[in-house]
Structure 1
């Protein structure tokens, strides 16, 4: 290592900070780290940075944008060789959203998911709306009414507050 050159630990820390600052393309109030999608950042001996991400669900259309944004951000921070690895195991859980991420969702007017359901085996299919006791992210009142189980992204559902009548998105529990 040349005198004055950053150490391997410093380079790895810089790569992790850069990767952790990338925002989600569908919910830009969240970083990939706060969403729990960024699983790891490694630095190889040859200087190649590998970022590992897990999709929120299989087939998530935002994965290509996440990959491109990670590559761009790491290159902007001086890492010319970047790989993005997609890991499907373990499957992402909404429980991985950080407390900071949950606060960012609420500040943006979205309802954060509650605890993910615990299941052994396959997820049972139901065509009925999921019953949730949600607090309105605007006024805090409970008893929101479902409007649609499908919001602008596959990860969200639409609700309306029974008290202030404002609509809001709820990030689904997975």
Structure 2
């Protein structure tokens, strides 16, 4: 296995600090891994995209990537933040969606598609239709637009009455 493949394998196993049931690869924030050879060795360059602008977990993601790659024998690691195209919840892998459900979180549905032309201003609540990750009921009600992190909303299932977090569609 070459250095790039080895580095990519290590980076793909790094867990998200806010949703540790997901790897950065499953979350879709891990965009690319390259190895640049230099005269004094190689540098691993990892590109990641935040789920939200100003995501507080980015520093931890960067530090975890550097630490894991250093421990795997890559002494020089550079982490780049890529903002374009912006992250979409559609980038969460099927394995990641299954891991969210297994952890009691409702995975996001399809991300909204931007309209052509001017962006319409909407001030009402977001319209989502999450299913309960515990009993599967689609009869759910929002309780708060924000959960434990900005990328999650709180819901309650009216079938089993259990509260749950839903990962927002972006």
TM-score, length of structure 2 as denominator length: 0.94
> Which of 155, 158, 166 is the aligned partner of 1:159?
155
TM-score, length of structure 1 as denominator length: 0.91
Matches within 5 A, 1:82-93: 82-93=77-88
- Given that 2:108 and 2:130 are in contact with CA atoms closer than 8 Å, whether structure 1 keeps it comes out as no
Q: For residues 57 and 123 of structure 2, what CA distance do their matches in structure 1 show?
A: 25
Q: Deviations over 1:120-163 (max 9, x none)?
A: 35654434222222210000011111000111100000000010
Task: Verify: 1:32 aligned to 2:27, yes or no.
Answer: no
> 1:126 matched to which residue of 2?
122
> 1:54 matched to which residue of 2?
49
SS of 1:26 mapped into structure 2: coil
SS of 2:46 mapped into structure 1: strand
> 1:5 matched to which residue of 2?
none
* Count of aligned residue pairs for this structure pair: 166
Gap runs ≥5 in structure 1: 1-8
- The more displaced of 129-138 and 13-22 is 129-138
Please give the root-mean-square deviation of Cα atoms over the aligned residues, in Å: 1.2
Q: Deviations over 1:65-90 (max 9, x none)?
A: 00000000000100000000000000
> Which of 110, 119, 122 is the aligned partner of 1:115?
110
In the superposition, relative to structure 1, how do residues 72 and 125 fare at CA in structure 2: closer, same or farther (>3 Å)? Answer: farther
> Which of 56, 63, 67 is the aligned partner of 1:68?
63
